[in-house]
Chain A
């Protein structure tokens, strides 16, 4: 009788992602469910205003710092942008001095085929080793104690535009990595390497024949449009899938109970949709793959025949929740299309898709067919300029990951508020050069602010509160058991916010804009620390990190038009800031 009155329980973190309580942060996602939630509660809503700098460390590289500082035991690991130097800091000694550093010496020419600043999203720790990728498409394993290289494997060719920027995921005895280069016509893939030797165990492409994509008898997509033979060839013009994009450069999650790895595939190549009629499978979507063999289990395409450069690589957060009275295992994906997708992670069925960004490019997602409903007047046409497409090509939210708090049941989404004008041009494929076919100018969305940090109710599909920021929010989010959430802004403020009300409780101006992922840990002294890398860059901040000229609005694939003021607000940087209570 009372069930109608009581609120349904919050979505819960699956048991496999329960915190071990050791106060460490061993992978950027924090756990396989990608919650980015720490159970440390020494810092809470009352005392966070007293937070002060504990120590700092310069990475020596003044490009976009997108990595998450990891802490294992008494050592912190920080990975810099190209040249991808891995630093180990000894937290047991005052001032956290350098323990060792490792320089993988990636090819400098790789900087020429990196679309969006020479960033790296961090290493992953497992079994006494650190695994990370380098810009010139190598995967490296390094001894976490000594910094010695254990193996380094070349996986991609920069001459074809292949680079790597993602944080690997270690699943059992495999390191899983993927390739970047969707703006260079790279045919995307995801690969699993042996943890001990670096040799390839399986590799699955994002376009092409079923055999290459590892679609076999166990592939059971939920929607009819994904059922058929060799759709990775049939939904492209003749041989178009060879330069089809679908790169895997973002976040991976893993469900050990189902033994499924969840990953996104990137935008199709080229961005201009006219040369590639068809649904362009399997780009701009989310795959569930068997972790041992790489075989695809299901797929959902968030943007079939993508029109505006949409990508499926944003994070997927695995949660258990009640949906319409039944317990479901779900995956929550705040997508580039502007919708927060709640998808059943067993079957691939979309349970809900609610917008969190102003929309003109699409009107909604039809839950019957799973298809996004595009607005026909925003579809690119040859030699014409289409105006006011929202969200912009950056997506409503890009790589920077959100965090989930099981205490509040809210998803904390750092995102943008951008729209764009789009002029189609004829794309020309030349291996190793950009393959885009569009000129873009981005500008602030409705309201005039370009960034937002929102608290999202997953069940109801609506925003509870939001903090508007002048510049896009391009940093990750961190949620803690003290009911404090952390994020950073591109003008350099690192903020602590009340998880329930959205009140900014504390902020600190770091040395440069923030595009990194905040982490928190319990130090050797038993105190709670919060770490963030400060150094503006990434695609949104490339006007500063690349010294671009603000007079050309189409530079940096359209971002410069929106970010002309960024140079007046911050300079380049590359410094780790760690905070603690006095």
Chain B
């Protein structure tokens, strides 16, 4: 029993994947539910097939021929039985394969069906973060943010997927399956969340050094909360509330930050790095790697390569007395 204990523990481990904010088996949306259902059906059917095959194998191993029998002799009885059994097995296999194929086709139809939704997003995969643009019929409500998507609960949201450098893949397991982001091509996917909640996603196509740290969050919330969030995001950055943060803004505008980052409402208009206009309102920075706190912001700015080696953000030289104001300013951009 004691020797078996570690193996029993190993057996329990896979069960950890059944729940959580990033679990394909913990479906929170219709697309994910379809996929989870498919998973279980296939598992059950094919598991049963496997089980039957194994039983048949074990049974056949147990049977033994008489030692002196002629190995090449055929018994017409057993021959007939064998032909019947084999035909039945082949028939069943064909039926199973056709049934599962049909099921798969039906699931694909559900997954790729497009429902009319009010919200359209454009997600551009960059190395190694997600650029998210909220589209709108009114141009001045179009805005760009990074790494965090908010959607209203219960409504289908169309996401257009593009990539600017290499192939990435968009995957929020609790809500939907994977879809590649391919440079030079636009793919589309539709997601819908049934319940308010926080769902974690990840890049699912190896895209370079920090592929493993390219996460994103999808936050589903009620329609009112979502509209409030969107209005907040459309607005320009709040001006600094005190002199400490004002100094932080001056530091931001005089450092390399402005070469890549944008804070709408200031002269910083860089678009090749995440938009920082409302960075304080996001739960994480560095594509889901660190929680947004002043300490983490400071750590990220001073030593991004200690956290995500090889990332495009350079280490910025700051004087000791510049770190705190800058971190405060960024955290205050809510």
Q: Do chains A and B touch in the complex (CB under 8 A)?
A: yes
A238-B236, A383-B184 known; A428+B140 contact, CB < 8 A: no
CB contacts under 8 Å to A, within B109-158, are 124, 135, 138-144
**Closest 8 interchain pairs by CB?**
A278-B139, A429-B269, A237-B142, A239-B264, A238-B143, A383-B184, A234-B140, A277-B139
Count of chain A to chain B residue pairs whose CB atoms are closer than 8 Å in the complex: 69
CB contacts under 8 Å to B, within A155-180, are none
Q: Is the CB of B164 within 8 A of A238?
A: no
Check B265 for interface membership: any CB of A closer than 8 A. yes
Chain B: CB-nearest residue to A241? B140
Check B258 for interface membership: any CB of A closer than 8 A. yes
Q: How far is the CA of A233 from the CA of B124 in the complex (A)?
A: 25
Q: Is the CB of A243 within 8 A of B140?
A: no
Check A275 for interface membership: any CB of B closer than 8 A. yes
CB contacts under 8 Å to A, within B247-276, are 258-260, 262, 264-265, 267, 269-272
Chain B: CB-nearest residue to A238? B143
- With most chain A CB atoms within 10 A of its CB, the pick from B139, B184, B271 is B139
CB contacts under 8 Å to A, within B283-305, are none
**CB-defined A-B contacts under 8 Å, sample of 14:** A233-B140, A234-B138, A236-B139, A237-B140, A238-B236, A239-B264, A240-B139, A382-B164, A383-B163, A383-B183, A426-B271, A428-B259, A429-B270, A431-B258
Query: Interface digits, A236-254 against B, CB 8 Å rule (1 contact, 0 not)?
Result: 1111101100000000000
Instruction: List B contacts of A276 (CB < 8 A).
Output: 139
Instruction: List A contacts of B162 (CB < 8 A).
Output: 382-383
Check B212 for interface membership: any CB of A closer than 8 A. no
Instruction: List A contacts of B234 (CB < 8 A).
Output: 238
New A-B contacts (15) at CB < 8 Å, excluding given A236-B139, A240-B139, A430-B269:
A233-B140, A234-B139, A234-B140, A236-B140, A238-B141, A238-B142, A238-B236, A239-B265, A277-B139, A279-B139, A383-B183, A426-B272, A428-B272, A429-B262, A429-B269
Instruction: List A contacts of B164 (CB < 8 A).
Output: 382-383, 426
Q: Which residue in A185, A236, A277, A431 is a CB contact (below 8 Å) of B135? A: A277
Q: Is the CB of B269 within 8 A of A238?
A: no
Q: How far is the CA of A235 from the CA of B136 in the complex (A)?
A: 11
A235-B140, A239-B264 known; A430+B258 contact, CB < 8 A: yes
Chain B: CB-nearest residue to A280? B139
Chain B: CB-nearest residue to A160? B267
Instruction: List A contacts of B142 (CB < 8 A).
Output: 237-238, 277-278
Check A427 for interface membership: any CB of B closer than 8 A. yes
Check A384 for interface membership: any CB of B closer than 8 A. yes
Q: How far is the CA of A426 from the CA of B272 in the complex (A)?
A: 8
Q: How far is the CA of A382 from the CA of B270 in the complex (A)?
A: 18
CB contacts under 8 Å to B, within A420-451, are 426-431
Instruction: List B contacts of A242 (CB < 8 A).
Output: 264, 269
Instruction: List B contacts of A428 (CB < 8 A).
Output: 259-260, 270-272
Q: How far is the CA of A84 from the CA of B258 in the complex (A)?
A: 33
Q: Which residue in B124, B139, B258 is a CB contact (below 8 Å) of A237? A: B139
A304 to chain B, nearest CB (A): 11
A280 to chain B, nearest CB (A): 8
B51 to chain A, nearest CB (A): 50
B223 to chain A, nearest CB (A): 21
A76 to chain B, nearest CB (A): 44
Query: Interface digits, B213-232 against A, CB 8 Å rule (1 contact, 0 not)?
Result: 00000000000000000000
Instruction: List B contacts of A185 (CB < 8 A).
Output: 269
Instruction: List A contacts of B140 (CB < 8 A).
Output: 233-238, 278
Interface size on A, residues (CB 8 A): 25
B166 to chain A, nearest CB (A): 11
Chain B: CB-nearest residue to A237? B142
Q: How far is the CA of A353 from the CA of B142 in the complex (A)?
A: 33
Q: How far is the CA of A148 from the CA of B270 in the complex (A)?
A: 44
Q: Is the CB of A275 within 8 A of B236?
A: no
Q: How far is the CA of A276 from the CA of B271 in the complex (A)?
A: 13
Q: Is the CB of B264 within 8 A of A238?
A: yes
Instruction: List B contacts of A430 (CB < 8 A).
Output: 258-259, 269-270
Q: How far is the CA of A238 from the CA of B272 in the complex (A)?
A: 17
B155 to chain A, nearest CB (A): 22
Chain A: CB-nearest residue to B236? A239
Q: Is the CB of A431 within 8 A of B267?
A: yes
Q: Is the CB of B184 within 8 A of A384?
A: yes
Q: How far is the CA of A382 from the CA of B123 in the complex (A)?
A: 13
Instruction: List B contacts of A382 (CB < 8 A).
Output: 124, 162, 164, 184, 186
Instruction: List A contacts of B272 (CB < 8 A).
Output: 426, 428
Q: Is the CB of A275 within 8 A of B271?
A: yes
Instruction: List A contacts of B138 (CB < 8 A).
Output: 234
B258 to chain A, nearest CB (A): 7
Q: How far is the CA of A235 from the CA of B260 in the complex (A)?
A: 25
Instruction: List A contacts of B236 (CB < 8 A).
Output: 238-239
Query: Interface digits, A165-205 against B, CB 8 Å rule (1 contact, 0 not)?
Result: 00000000000000000000100000000000000000000
Q: How far is the CA of A111 from the CA of B270 in the complex (A)?
A: 23
Instruction: List B contacts of A427 (CB < 8 A).
Output: 271
Chain B: CB-nearest residue to A278? B139
Chain B: CB-nearest residue to A277? B139
Q: How far is the CA of A484 from the CA of B64 in the complex (A)?
A: 114
B264 to chain A, nearest CB (A): 4
Q: How far is the CA of A240 from the CA of B271 in the complex (A)?
A: 12
Instruction: List A contacts of B163 (CB < 8 A).
Output: 383
Q: Is the CB of A429 within 8 A of B271?
A: yes
Q: Is the CB of B184 within 8 A of A431?
A: no
Instruction: List A contacts of B262 (CB < 8 A).
Output: 429
Q: How far is the CA of A99 from the CA of B258 in the complex (A)?
A: 49
Q: How far is the CA of A514 from the CA of B128 in the complex (A)?
A: 51
A103 to chain B, nearest CB (A): 32
Q: How far is the CA of A73 from the CA of B269 in the complex (A)?
A: 51
- With most chain B CB atoms within 10 A of its CB, the pick from A236, A275, A279, A383 is A383
Q: How far is the CA of A240 from the CA of B265 in the complex (A)?
A: 10
B14 to chain A, nearest CB (A): 40
Instruction: List B contacts of A235 (CB < 8 A).
Output: 139-140
CB contacts under 8 Å to B, within A380-414, are 382-384
Q: How far is the CA of A430 from the CA of B257 in the complex (A)?
A: 10
Q: How far is the CA of A430 from the CA of B267 in the complex (A)?
A: 8
Q: How far is the CA of A237 from the CA of B184 in the complex (A)?
A: 23
Instruction: List A contacts of B271 (CB < 8 A).
Output: 275, 426-429
A228 to chain B, nearest CB (A): 11
Instruction: List A contacts of B183 (CB < 8 A).
Output: 383
Chain A: CB-nearest residue to B273? A428
Q: How far is the CA of A238 from the CA of B236 in the complex (A)?
A: 8
Q: How far is the CA of A427 from the CA of B270 in the complex (A)?
A: 9
Q: Is the CB of A243 within 8 A of B184?
A: no
A35 to chain B, nearest CB (A): 39
Query: Interface digits, B99-110 against A, CB 8 Å rule (1 contact, 0 not)?
Result: 000000000000
Instruction: List A contacts of B259 (CB < 8 A).
Output: 428, 430
Q: How far is the CA of A185 from the CA of B236 in the complex (A)?
A: 18
CB contacts under 8 Å to A, within B232-254, are 234-236
A429 to chain B, nearest CB (A): 3
A410 to chain B, nearest CB (A): 41
Q: How far is the CA of A207 from the CA of B203 in the complex (A)?
A: 39
Q: How far is the CA of A237 from the CA of B275 in the complex (A)?
A: 14
Q: Which residue in B141, B144, B235, B269 is a CB contact (below 8 Å) of A431? A: B269
Q: How far is the CA of A382 from the CA of B183 in the complex (A)?
A: 8
Chain A: CB-nearest residue to B265? A239
Chain B: CB-nearest residue to A270? B271
Q: Is the CB of A243 within 8 A of B269?
A: yes
Instruction: List A contacts of B186 (CB < 8 A).
Output: 382
A233 to chain B, nearest CB (A): 6
Instruction: List B contacts of A237 (CB < 8 A).
Output: 139-140, 142-144
Query: Interface digits, B12-38 against A, CB 8 Å rule (1 contact, 0 not)?
Result: 000000000000000000000000000
B256 to chain A, nearest CB (A): 10
Q: How far is the CA of A279 from the CA of B141 in the complex (A)?
A: 14
Query: Interface digits, A264-278 against B, CB 8 Å rule (1 contact, 0 not)?
Result: 000000000001111
Query: Interface digits, A479-501 against B, CB 8 Å rule (1 contact, 0 not)?
Result: 00000000000000000000000
CB contacts under 8 Å to B, within A457-476, are none
